[in-house]
Amino acid sequence: MLMHVQKSVTKNGIRVVSAAMPQVQSVAFGIWVGVGARHETDAVSGISHFTEHLLFKGTKSRTAREISSAIEGRGGYLNAFTGEENTCYYARLGFDQLASGLDVLADMYRNSNFAQEEIEKERGVIIEEIMMYRDQPRHMVQESLQNLLWPGHALGRPIIGTPETLAGMKRATFKRFVADRYVPANTVVAFAGHIDHAACVAEVERTLGHMAKGRKPAAYTRVSGKMVPRRADFQSKEIEQTHLALGVRLFGARDERRHTLKLLSVVLGENMSSRLFQIVREQHGLAYSIHSHAQLFQDTGALAIGAGLDRKRKVRALELIVRELRRLREKAIGAGELRRAKDYVVGQLRLALESTSQQMMWVGENVLTRGRVIPPEETIAKLERVTSADIQKLAQTVLRPRNLSLAIISPDLSATEESRMKSALAGI
């Protein structure tokens, strides 16, 4: 599924990985940095995301407009994202534009100006982004759930930060942050598409090879078993729907049960054939949107359910959700349902990896977080070995009443309804 994958290390310690796809006419490439929201202190919460924005605002040799036009003017695509554990700057271009495209990303990575005027403008932009999210109860209820699952920890804070933490960030703060974190020892450059690995390594050496290796930054604070998730957070707001986020804190990304977890989540709520969609939406008409997803970090993770519910029948909807969780504990899923879940996951993986961008994401994140590229065939083989008994055992282990956390944002939220919803959780 992945084409020919090769990995090298430059003289100054940058890891270079490529997936050759000779049948395509494009190349996707990304600079991955091992820093994200969980590496931040309370005082600079949001700095990883803020820095990501600022790298697009000009370098010593390019203005912000010249950065975007250098990629888009050649028919390409340029973007970035910040997560809890990493940041990625990436582009996609015709294969003959690789050298010029990597010039742009490398220039952003090593030569950004952090001009005071741009910092002030972007601070306002990000505050507006925060306000946009605060107007989206579906987003806010997920943030509330994160805070319940990881109270007092960086993972419980929003990636974007807050207006208060953003206000304290000065030019020197960003310069120091980049000097400490944006170093070759903490960086992977990934390529996928119509490329030659040796040529990719040569381009990385040309654009970034002169940088000092630096030291890999100190690790983040791990999630302690003593950190007990909080039970519930109920917020009353004048909106049209009740928004629910229900979750349970889990193991990390290296746990072999991750494949079982993925199948459990698919059965529960990842598509229109799932139990939650069929029961809560199709049979009872209580929601337009309901879904589940699993998110795993290096040392911890979560299984979460999100839904926008009929405001007058929110308690009934929660009771139905809890009933489905209890059913996963009490009865093994049938062979047909298991087969459909496996086919869905494998099919989604195969469809995704037809894309140069997704292949670049796969090999880049794998090398950054695991030190090696996990072949998709290895993942598929492990998925195929999962049994119904494995899924039931996992459900019995993690889907316990004391483990669940519930966030609700709802209009007309009464104390009686809060009490009934807490009782519904205990019913699992």
Using DSSP's 3-state secondary structure scheme, residue 53 falls into: helix
Q: Which residues, listed in sequence order, are joined to residue 6 by a DSSP beta bridge?
A: 18
**DSSP letter string over 98-116?**
HHHHHHHHHHHHHHB---H
Q: Which residues contact 35 (CB under 8 A, 6 or more apart)?
A: 48, 86, 87, 181, 182, 186, 217
Residue keyed to tokens 């459909």: 340
Residue keyed to tokens 């003593």: 226
- CA 156 vs. chain centroid, Å, equals 14
Using DSSP's 3-state secondary structure scheme, residue 217 falls into: coil
**85 an active-site residue?**
no
Q: Pick the catalytic residue: 52, 143, 203, 324?
A: 52
The secondary structure of residue 75, as a DSSP letter, is: T
Helices (H), 135-170: 137-149, 163-167
CA distances (Å), 84 to each of 38, 177, 339, in order? 5, 16, 33
Give the chain's domains with CATH numbers: 4-208 (3.30.830.10), 232-426 (3.30.830.10)
CA–CA distance, 198 with 211 (Å, rounded to integer): 20
Pairing of strands 242-250, 232-236: unpaired
- The edge-to-edge listing of strands for the beta sheet with 242-250 is 232-236, 404-410, 242-250, 301-309, 287-296
Q: What pTM does this model have?
A: 0.95
CA distances (Å), 158 to each of 41, 146, 163, 237, in order? 13, 8, 11, 20
Q: Which residues contact 76 (CB under 8 A, 6 or more apart)?
A: 91, 92, 93, 94, 97, 101
Spatial contact of 313 and 250, defined as CB atoms under 8 Å apart: no
Q: Which residues contact 313 (CB under 8 A, 6 or more apart)?
A: 286
Q: What are phi and psi of 7, to 5 degrees?
A: -135, 140
Q: Which helix (H) or strand (E) holds 294?
A: strand 287-296
Tokens of 408: 């609700």
In tens digits, the chain (428 residues) has pLDDT values of: 666 999 999 999 999 999 999 999 999 999 999 999 999 999 999 999 999 999 999 999 999 999 999 999 999 999 999 999 999 999 999 999 999 999 999 999 999 999 999 999 999 999 999 999 999 999 999 999 999 999 999 999 999 999 999 999 999 999 999 999 999 999 999 999 999 999 999 999 999 999 999 888 877 889 988 889 999 999 999 999 999 999 999 999 999 999 999 999 999 999 999 999 999 999 999 999 999 999 999 999 999 999 999 999 999 999 999 999 999 999 999 999 999 999 999 999 999 999 999 999 999 999 999 999 999 999 999 999 999 999 999 999 999 988 999 999 999 889 999 999 999 988 77
